[in-house]
Structure 1
C-alpha cells in the first residue's frame, strides 16, 4: 500500500501503543504535526520546552511501555538531550523524532537556522547517537524500512531511539507494509533454554536459602509477574534494587525490601548476602543502588538473568531470553515451603511514626509516616532525586502502586514533567508528586501544562530553602546551595486563570492533617507546600551523603564542619531564614 511518510510514521507509533506525542512545535516539524492532527489514535501534547518534553515522554513510557516526543532540529534536539540521556541511563523506551531541515538544504549544504551555520547536517545526529540505541534519517528511499527498524530497536532494548524527519519528505507517498508493526521479542535457542532452565531449577532444588533480586529491567521487560509467581510457588523471598522500587508487590509476605548493600535493613542484607542461591533479574550494580558498591553477593552462587542472556556463576549462556527462561523455571521448579518474611523494613533507618502534637513543627521524622498513611493502592507516586526519593524508597508501598524516579541519572527537575507524562498516560489513576524546591525551579513551567489539561495530581513541594542533598554532601553553610524562596503555593493560580486548584502552606502536623483530609476528597489539583527545616533530611540520605563525600573528594578532600564544633550556618539576612527553622542537630 502507499502512504505519506509522516502518516506512516504516525500509524506505526499508534500500532506501538503510543497515544500521545509530546513536544514543542518548530518550523521543521510543523508539516508532520499537521499529519498528527489528522491521524487516528494519537494526539499531540505540547510542552513548555524540549527538556520537559523528554522528561514527560519518560514518565509516560514508564506507565504505558513506550513513548514518543518531537522537537525541531538542532536547537530543540540539544535542549532535549539531557532527558534523552536520562532515558538511556534508566532503560526507558522513548522515540525521539526531530523535524529536520529539508533534504534539498542538506544536499546543498545551505546555512540555515537552527544549525551551526557550517553546512554540517550530521553533527546533531552524532550527538544523538551517543544517547540512543538506534538512529536514522528518513528519506523516501528508506522510510518504510528504517521507521520499522528503529521502532523495533526501541522496543527490543527498552532504550531511546532517534529519527530525523526532513520537512520536505513528510507528505511524499511511498510503498509501505499493510501489516501492523510487530513488536515481538526474539525467541530463545531451544536447546540452550532447556539447559539453562534445568541448571537454575537444580540450583533452586538444592538451595536451603535462595533469594530473588530484581532491578528496573524486570519492570521494563514486563517479567515481574513471573518473578512473583516463582516466589509464590517456591516460597522464595524477593528483594529489589532501588531503581526497581515498586516493581514487586510490597504487601507480599515474601517481599524483603530494598537491597542496597551496606545501606540495607539488616534482615534484607542477611537474606541476600547469606543466600546459597541468588537469582538476579536484570541487575545493574550502580553506586546509588548499592550504597556506593557495598554489595556482597557470592559470585559462585549468583545466577544473573539479563535481557537476552544469562550467567550461572562463571558460565555464560547467550541466546536465552529473560522472559522465556523465567516462564520455563516457573513451570519446572518444584514447590517448596520456607518461612515467610513479615514486617521487614524496606531500608535501614526507615522512618517510624511517633507521638506528636498538632502544633508540632513539621520535620522529616514526623512527615513521612503521615504520607505513608495517605497512600492508596494503585497510586502512581513520583519521587524527585534527593530528600523525597530517599524517604519514599524507605517505606513500603500499597498494592498495585507504581513508583517513578530516576535514581541512576539523578537529573534535578525530572519529576514534575515526568508527572505530566504519567498523568497523560494513566489519567484514571491518582498521581502524587514529591519534589524539592530546588528541583521544582528547574522545570516549573510544566505545571502550566498539567493545569491546561485539567489534570488533578496531589503535589507535595518540600520547601527547605535549596539543595539539601548537596548541603549534606558539602557546603552546609555555602550560599551556592541556596535557592530563592518563591511563593510556591500561589503558582497554580499564576499558571492558570481558572479557580480549579487548592493550595496549602503546611508548617505543623495539624496543618498537614487538615491538608491531607482535603486532598482525599477534593476533585482538583492539590498543591501542598511543606515547610521543612533547612538541614533536615531522611536518615538514609544523611547516611549516603557522608559516604558520598568520602567517595567523591578522597581522604584529604573538603568536608562539612562537624556539628559538634560548628553551628550549622545560615545565609545572613536571607528571606528563607526568616521563615524556616534550622535544624541544629543535623
Structure 2
C-alpha cells in the first residue's frame, strides 16, 4: 500500500498508543501537520511554545507510556531541548519530530532561515545526541527501518528519541510493505546475578529494598509487588520515584531521604546488612545531600542496564528481566521492621490565622482523593508533597532529578489530556508558574479541568533556602494570579479562589468538590520565608554541597 512518509510515521506512533501530539507549527512542518490533523485517531495539541510542548509530551507519556511532539527546525527544535533533556534524565519516552528544510536546500548549503547562516544542517541534531537514546535522519530509502527502530528504542529504554524529517521527505509516497509492530525480545541470562542476590539475602538479618523512579518509568509495579510479597522484604521509597510502591501495602516503611527520614526508618535502612537498590538513583536531592550512613559500595544496584554487586557489573540486563528473575528467588525475610504510619486526618485547626506551609500540606492530605493525579512542582510544593500519603490508585508526578522549574504546569496539560477522566491536582509556586504560565491558555482552549494550587509567597523559595534569603535575585514581580483565567480568555470557564487562611482553604476545597466539572485556580498566599521543614534542611545540604 502506498502512503506518504508522514502518514506512515503517524501510523507507527498511533500503533504504540499515542493519540495526542504536542507542538508548535512552523513552515518546515506544516504539510506534515496535515497528516496529523487529517486522522480520526490522532489529535494535534498546539502549544504556546516548544518548551511547554516538550513538558506536555513528557507529562502525557508518564500517564500513557509514550508521548510525541513536533517542532520546526532550529528555533523550535532548540526551544524543546530543556524538556527533552529532562525526559532523558528521568526516563520518560518522548518522540521528538523535527520538520526540516528540504534535502535540496540542505545539499546546496543554502543560508536558509532558522539556520546558523553557515550552510550546516546537522548542528542541532548533534545537540540532541547526548539527550536522546536514539536519533534518525528520515529518508524515503530508510523510513521503514529507521522509524520503527527509534520508536522501539524509546519504548525499550524509556527515554526520548529524535527524528529529523525534511519536509519534502514527509510528503513522498512509499510502498509500505508491513504495518509497524512492537516486539520486545531483550532476553538476557540473569541466573548468575540472581544467585548472588540470593546468597546476599540468605546471610542477612535486616534486608531492605530502596525503590525508585524506574519502576514508574517501566510500569513494573505488579512485578515489584510480587517480589516483595514473596520475600517479605520491607520497602523504603525515594522521593525520586514517589508512587513506585503502594503506600498502603503492609511491607511499606515510608520515604527514605537520608538524614531527613523518620528516625526508625533511617536507622533501619542505614544499618541494614543487605540493601537492594531497585530502579532507584541515590541523588543529592533524594538523599538530602548524600546524607545516608550506609556504604554505597555494599548496596546491590539493580537498575535498567545496570547491575552492580561488589566487583560484578553488567550493563546489558533490562530491569524488567531482573525483576522476573528476582521473583523466582526462594527466600523469605522474618525480621521486624518499622511500619508506615499514615497521617491522621484533620490534624489541624481551621481558623483565620495566616496559613502556613505545615498546615497547607496537612490539609492537602485530606483533600486528595484515591484516583487523583498529583503533580508537584520542584519547589516548596515538591518538598512538602512527597511526604503526602498516597492511595494505591494515586499517580504522583514530579521532576526532582532534572528539577526544571516551570515543568509541572505544561506537564499537567499532558497528564490531564492523557486521561481526562481523572482529577489532576497541580501544586506549584509563583516563581515556577511565571516561567510557563502561557500553557494555561491551552488548558482553557482544550477544556481540560485540572485543579491548580498556586503558592503566592513572592519569590524563589528553594533558592532562598540555599543562598540569598533576602537577596534581590530571589525576588519576582507580584502578579494578580486570580486574573490569569481572564487574561487567557477563560473568565467564565475557570472557578477562582483566594486563600490566605486555613478557613478559606477549606472553603475552597468544599467548592472544588461541589464543582468537579470545572477547572479551578486557587491562589494561596503564604509567608515569604515559610517553607516545608524538609526544604529548609535540604537547602542547607545544597548550600554545603555548593561550597
TM-score category of the 2 structures, normalised to the smaller one = over 0.9
Query: Which deviates further from its counterpart, 54-63 or 85-94?
Result: 85-94
What SS does structure 2 have at the residue aligned with 1:267?
Answer: helix
Number of residue pairs matched by the alignment: 546
Q: Cα deviations across residues 306-353 of structure 1 (Å, max 9, x unaligned)?
A: 2134222222245433222222322333444444643347xxxx9997
Aligned to 2:327: 330
Aligned to 2:20: 20
- Are the equivalent residues in 1 in contact too, given 2:348–2:363 (CA < 8 A)? no
Shift of 1:263: 2.3
Unaligned runs of 5+ in 1: 555-586
State the Cα RMSD in Å.
1.9
Shift of 1:273: 1.6
Shift of 1:250: 0.9
- Are the equivalent residues in 2 in contact too, given 1:353–1:366 (CA < 8 A)? no
Aligned to 2:534: 540
Shift of 1:542: 0.6
Query: Which deviates further from its counterpart, 222-231 or 307-316?
Result: 307-316
- Tell me, in whole angstroms, the C-alpha distance in 2 between the residues paired with 1:354 and 1:318: 47
- Tell me, in whole angstroms, the C-alpha distance in 2 between the residues paired with 1:511 and 1:367: 11
- Tell me, in whole angstroms, the C-alpha distance in 1 between the residues paired with 2:258 and 2:331: 30
Shift of 1:102: 0.8
- Are the equivalent residues in 2 in contact too, given 1:47–1:449 (CA < 8 A)? yes
Aligned to 2:35: 35
Shift of 1:373: 0.4
Q: Does 1:242 align with 2:235?
A: no
From 373, 376, 397, give the equivalent of 1:383.
376
- Tell me, in whole angstroms, the C-alpha distance in 2 between the residues paired with 1:208 and 1:175: 63
Shift of 1:300: 6.3
Q: How does 1:557-576 map to 2 (within 5 A)?
A: none
- Are the equivalent residues in 2 in contact too, given 1:87–1:160 (CA < 8 A)? yes
Shift of 1:282: 2.2
Query: Which deviates further from its counterpart, 42-51 or 475-484?
Result: 475-484
From 214, 222, 227, give the equivalent of 1:225.
222
Q: Does 1:396 align with 2:389?
A: yes
From 465, 469, 485, give the equivalent of 2:462.
469
Shift of 1:80: 1.1
- Tell me, in whole angstroms, the C-alpha distance in 2 between the residues paired with 1:305 and 1:422: 28
Aligned to 1:197: 194
Aligned to 2:300: 303
Shift of 1:42: 1.9
Shift of 1:40: 4.3
Shift of 1:271: 2.1
- Tell me, in whole angstroms, the C-alpha distance in 2 between the residues paired with 1:433 and 1:4: 40
Q: Does 1:131 align with 2:131?
A: yes
Aligned to 1:362: 355
What SS does structure 2 have at the residue aligned with 1:168?
Answer: helix
Aligned to 1:574: none
Shift of 1:207: 2.6
- Are the equivalent residues in 2 in contact too, given 1:50–1:76 (CA < 8 A)? yes
- Are the equivalent residues in 2 in contact too, given 1:253–1:341 (CA < 8 A)? no
Aligned to 1:119: 119
- Tell me, in whole angstroms, the C-alpha distance in 2 between the residues paired with 1:318 and 1:444: 41
Aligned to 1:412: 405
What SS does structure 1 have at the residue aligned with 2:355?
Answer: coil
- Are the equivalent residues in 2 in contact too, given 1:247–1:402 (CA < 8 A)? no
- Tell me, in whole angstroms, the C-alpha distance in 1 between the residues paired with 2:317 and 2:122: 37
Unaligned runs of 5+ in 2: none
- Tell me, in whole angstroms, the C-alpha distance in 2 between the residues paired with 1:400 and 1:177: 42
CA gap 1:204/1:40 in 2 versus in 1, 3 angstroms? farther
Aligned to 1:180: 180
- Tell me, in whole angstroms, the C-alpha distance in 2 between the residues paired with 1:185 and 1:370: 47
CA gap 1:472/1:399 in 2 versus in 1, 3 angstroms? same
CA gap 1:474/1:351 in 2 versus in 1, 3 angstroms? farther
- Tell me, in whole angstroms, the C-alpha distance in 2 between the residues paired with 1:83 and 1:361: 36
Aligned to 1:253: 250
- Tell me, in whole angstroms, the C-alpha distance in 2 between the residues paired with 1:329 and 1:186: 17
Aligned to 2:311: 314
- Tell me, in whole angstroms, the C-alpha distance in 2 between the residues paired with 1:521 and 1:354: 23
What SS does structure 2 have at the residue aligned with 1:202?
Answer: helix
What SS does structure 2 have at the residue aligned with 1:130?
Answer: helix
Aligned to 2:288: 291
- Are the equivalent residues in 2 in contact too, given 1:299–1:313 (CA < 8 A)? no
- Tell me, in whole angstroms, the C-alpha distance in 1 between the residues paired with 2:305 and 2:490: 51
- Tell me, in whole angstroms, the C-alpha distance in 1 between the residues paired with 2:467 and 2:299: 37
Aligned to 2:511: 518
